[in-house]
Amino acid sequence: MTSPKISSARACRAVLAALSLSASFTAARAADAPDLDVSLAPVADARGALTRLDVAVRFEAPPQGEALATIAVTANTVETSARHMSGLVFSDAKGILPVEARDTARDGDNLERSWKPLRPAQGAVTLAYRVSIDPAQPELAKPQYELRASDGGLSGAGNAFLILPADDLPRDISVHWDLSRAGEGARGISSVGTGNARSSHPLRPEQIGGSYYMAGHIGTFAKGTFFGAWQGHFGFDGPELMDWAARLQGYYGRFFDQRPASFGVFARTNHLNPGSGIGLTDSFAFTFSKKTPIADLESLLAHEMVHAWINSLNNSMDAPGGLGLSWFGEGLAVHYQRLLPWRAGLISREAFLDDLNSTAGRYYTNALIATPNDRIAEGFWKDTRIRVLPYDRGSLYFASVDAQIRQASEGRRSLDDLVRQMLAERRAGHPMDLALWKRLLGAELGAKGLADFDAMLAGGTVLPPSEAFGPCFERVTKPLRRFDLGFDPLILVTPDRIVNGLKPESAAAAAGLREGDRILNRFPQDALQGDQEATLTLDIDRGGEKLSITYKPRGKTIDAYQWQTAANGLSCP
C-alpha cells in the first residue's frame, strides 16, 4: 500500500515546531556514533487525561537506500500507533523532505510501514508528528507494547509509536521531555533514564524501539543504577517490590558478568491480563492489577529481567519470525526465573517448588505436548497449549542439559558456563546463534546431547532427572487434570466467538454452556492453564439473553511429574 507524498504549508509549520521542540539536542556529542534525538510532549485534555503525544525524532547519518524510516503497524499481533498519527512531516538541511509511504507484511503477525525519500536526504533528518491516544481503548491480553493512557499517565514501547531510521546503525540516543502541557507534577522517564537523559552507549534502532517510555502522574523509585516507574496503584507498597527487583538486578549483573550502566522497570495496570511482561533494552515492563499478589509479580520480574540479559538466539526475541527460537529465550527465562532468585536468597524453597511445579504440571498435562517446534509459530497466537510449550518445554530441557553437564564434568561445569560463554561471544561482536549453541552443546555432551536436542525440537517429551534441581528436591508423580476449555479454542480468535465443537462430557457442558453460545468476554489462558484449581467465567449471549457460566476448565486426569523436598533435604534453605 502506498500513500501520496507529503508537502504543504501546514507541513512547514509542523517542521518549525518540531525543530524548536528538539533544539536542545541538536549539538553534536563527543562520540564516534551519530546522534538520534527523541523529543516527547504529552498533552492532557481538560479532565487531565493524556490524550495526545507530540513527537519529534532527529537522526544523523540517514539511510541512503530505498527506505529512510520505518515503524511497525502491527508488532506480534499488537496494533501500534501507526494508524493514529497526524501531521507527519520529514525535513532535512534543504527543508521539507517529500516521502512516500509503503506497508509491507513481514509475516502474518507483523506489518511494517516505511517511508521512501523522493530526493536524497541532506544532512540530519527531522520528522515530527502527533499521536492521538484514547484513554477508553479496551485493554489487551497481548504483549504490552502499545501506547496506552490510564491512571493519570501514559506509557508504551518505542516500537509502538516511534518512527526510526530504517537501518541497523548504532546511534547515541537522547530523550527530552516537554511536560508543560501534561499537568502539574507530571514526570517523564524512559529506558534511557529518568527525565531528560542520554544513553551510555550507542543503540541500534531496534534497541531504541525496544525501549520504554512513561509520563504523567506516576510512581517512581531509584536505588543506585536501578530505577522503576509505575502507572496506577499496586495492592501493596510499590517501593517494596522495586527494592526486591533492585537487589535481584544486582545479582543478575554479577551472575551474567554484565552490568548495565542503568536498568529500569516499568509497570502499568491491566485488569484483563495482569502479570504479563515484555523484555526491553536494559529494562522491562509488566502489567498488574490491585489484586495481583506481590509474589506473582516477583516471579514475573525475575522472568522478564532474564530477557534483558539474554534476549534470544540472533536477538530474535519479539522479532518477526522469532517464535521458532523462543524455546531458547523463553526456556532460559523460565529456568532462571526461579533458580537465580532462590540462589540469591530472595525467594523461599516453597516459592521455588511452586514455580517449578506450575511449569511441570502445565507441561506434562498438556494435550499438545508432542507439538514439534517447527509448528510453534503457526499456532502460538491461536492456542494457549501451543503458546506455553516454548516456556515449559524449553525450561525443562535446560534443566536436563544442566544436570547432564554437571554429571559429565563431575560437577566442574554447568549450563551457567555455556550461557555466560554465549553472552561473552555476543559482547565480542560474534553471532549468538543456533550454530554457537550446538557447537557448545556438542563440546559438553557429544553426539547424544545433540541427538537429545533434535528430539526436543521434534516434540519429544523432556524429563529432567530426579536430582536435576539439586539434592534438596526429588521427582515424584501426582494425579493432575489436563487443561480443557471444553470447546474448540480456535473460536476465541474469530470475530464472532461462537461456541463450536462443545464436548458433551466436558466441565463446560456440565456447567451449562451450549453449542452456538457467543462468548462476550476475553480472558488470559496461559496462567489459567497452569493452575489446577482456577475457575473460568464465560459471559455469553444466547439468543439475546446474557448469561454467566463458571467452571473449572479441566478434563482427563493423568499422572504428571512434580518435584518435592527430598527426604534428606529438610535442612535445605
Q: Flag whether pLDDT at 419 surpasses 70.
A: yes
pLDDT of 339 reads 98
- What angle is formed at CA 338 by the lines to CA 445 and CA 525, rounded to 5 degrees? 105
pTM (2 decimals)? 0.86
Domain count, the chain: 3
Same domain, 441 and 539: no
* Mean pLDDT to the nearest integer, 189-212: 96
pLDDT tens per residue, range 82-99: 999 999 999 999 999 999
pLDDT tens per residue, range 141-164: 788 889 999 999 999 999 999 999
Same domain, 514 and 369: no
- Least confident window among 21-35, 67-81, 197-211, 458-472: 21-35
Specify if 304 maps to a domain.
no
Q: What percent of the chain has pLDDT over 90?
A: 85
Confidence label for 563 from pLDDT (cuts 50, 70 and 90): very high
Same domain, 2 and 99: yes
Q: Flag whether pLDDT at 64 surpasses 80.
A: yes
* Mean pLDDT to the nearest integer, 311-334: 87
Mean pLDDT of the chain: 92
pLDDT of 322 reads 82
397-to-352, 400, 459, 505 alpha-carbon distances in Å: 18, 5, 11, 34
In the chain the first and final C-alpha atoms are separated, in Å, by 60
pLDDT of 318 reads 67
pLDDT tens per residue, range 288-321: 999 999 999 999 999 999 998 998 898 877 676 7
Distance CA 238, CA 534 (A): 27
pLDDT of 281 reads 93
CATH of the domain at 503: 2.30.42.10
- Of 500, 484, 478, 479, nearest to 534 (Cα)? 484
Same domain, 375 and 501: no
Same domain, 405 and 535: no
- What angle is formed at CA 454 by the lines to CA 453 and CA 458, rounded to 5 degrees? 120
Choose the final residue of a domain: 149, 171, 186.
186
Same domain, 458 and 374: yes
Q: Flag whether pLDDT at 206 surpasses 50.
A: yes
Specify if 526 maps to a domain.
yes
* Mean pLDDT to the nearest integer, 426-439: 96
**pLDDT greater at residue 571 or residue 240:** 240
Exposed e or buried b per residue across 52-90, where buried means at least 16 C-beta atoms within 10 angstroms of its C-beta:
bbbbbbbbbbbbeeebbbbbbbbbbebbbbbebbebbbb
* Mean pLDDT to the nearest integer, 319-339: 92
- Of 461, 453, 377, nearest to 418 (Cα)? 453
Alpha helices in 372-414 (DSSP H): 376-379, 384-387, 389-408
- Least confident window among 128-137, 290-299, 318-327: 318-327
Choose the final residue of a domain: 437, 470, 503.
470
pLDDT of 138 reads 87
Same domain, 138 and 55: yes
Confidence label for 273 from pLDDT (cuts 50, 70 and 90): confident
Specify if 150 maps to a domain.
yes
Range of the domain at 107: 1-186
pLDDT of 32 reads 84
Same domain, 404 and 506: no
Specify if 533 maps to a domain.
yes
Confidence label for 515 from pLDDT (cuts 50, 70 and 90): very high
- Least confident window among 20-29, 33-42, 185-194: 20-29
Distance CA 349, CA 569 (A): 11
pLDDT of 26 reads 40
Same domain, 327 and 367: yes
Q: Flag whether pLDDT at 571 surpasses 70.
A: no
Same domain, 335 and 466: yes
pLDDT tens per residue, range 350-392: 999 999 999 999 999 999 999 999 999 999 989 999 999 999 9
Same domain, 389 and 415: yes
429-to-422, 425, 433 alpha-carbon distances in Å: 11, 7, 12
* Mean pLDDT to the nearest integer, 396-410: 98
Same domain, 15 and 136: yes
- Least confident window among 6-10, 27-31, 136-140, 228-232: 6-10
Q: Flag whether pLDDT at 2 surpasses 80.
A: no
* Mean pLDDT to the nearest integer, 550-567: 97
